[in-house]
Structure 1
Amino acid sequence: MAAQRCLYVEIRSVNGLSSTPKRPYAVVSVRDREKNLIFPKEKSKVGKDGSSGLGFKFMAIFYINVASAQNNGLDLAVKLKSKRWVHSNDDIGVVCVPITELLEGFGDGTEDHEKQVTSKSIVTSEGTEEGTLEFSYKFGRILQEPPKELKKKFRRAKFKKDAKKLIRKLTIKGGFAAVIAMLTDLLQESVR
């Protein structure tokens, strides 16, 4: 298995938005340049109605395949959203940072480093830069294999994604009984 490094990301705050969103939250993920998820998303709790700056204090942990990050151009993506009661949630903006850029100050993975704090511009849904996202990050030492908890998390995320696709497909084609049968099969596979 390829060498992995643990990436610890703490979303600290958002500053400089012209209108402060109500009930903000962050969705953090690692994706490739085609925006395919490489690792399951991590979602912060919904914050309280904000003032001029939004504080999150939210920690996400990802295991990064170093070779894949360098060859395939992986990005750390932080989507900022605003929770709404009635309609779908509003997109505030997104910050995308190449993993290779984050890796630069962390050497070859044989020794520990202090976490680094940085600020990046938020790109709104209109495509303009507005405000900044402050976050800290740190890479751990190189591991040859991710922990067992991570493997379970991947299986659960894949199961949820597959189950949602099947429910949509089968509800249209075969009705409720077909959905139940397929979900039962999926559950039996995921237990193995």
Structure 2
Amino acid sequence: MAVDECEPLEALMPLIQGGDAAAFERLYDATAPQVLGLITQILRDRAQAEEVTQELFIELWQHAAEYDPARGSAKSWILRRARMRAIDRLRSVLSTLHRDDREAFLIASATVESVENQALNNVERRGIREALDLVGEPHKTAILLAYFGGLTQAELARTTGVPLGTAKTRVRDGLRKLEKILVQRRLAPQEGGTP
């Protein structure tokens, strides 16, 4: 049973905090599709996204008392927790991969490909990866984490242990370098006929 317009999520939260399973079911029905969509967008893996979504709703049930309406809407509280859980899972997956495989994983999971575009995307991806290698550190890592890892600039700063301004500068300067390299590569044919 979905939440109707007369029953905002905020009205369900006190019931859920009191252990009302029916209210939690209505909250789940109203928010699960958007939560799953957000988590899938971050992880790019439907099976893992479903698992994280299930874990999140168990967590929401067990920690419903942590919701404070003075700090924001119930929906924003749920989506913020969903995003944090998805990023935690992404970091966990990335930490188990070999360093060289991390970049390939991030680049490969950046887009959902159609069969027709797969070959073209592979060529483009290889070109972008080669260009990213030329961008150099620390800009390369900043771009990968921000654009392919889904981190906000503040999360990027925390993850890399640098001030927010430095994180922003690394991304901006890295994107400028990447753009310059990609433009140069399109204007000048590469050795061996590779575009």
Relative contact order higher in (CA < 8 Å, ≥ 6 apart): 1
Q: Name the structure where helix makes up a greater proportion of residues.
A: 2
State TM-score, norm by structure 2: 0.21
Q: TM-score, normalised by structure 1?
A: 0.21
Structure number, greater radius of gyration: 2
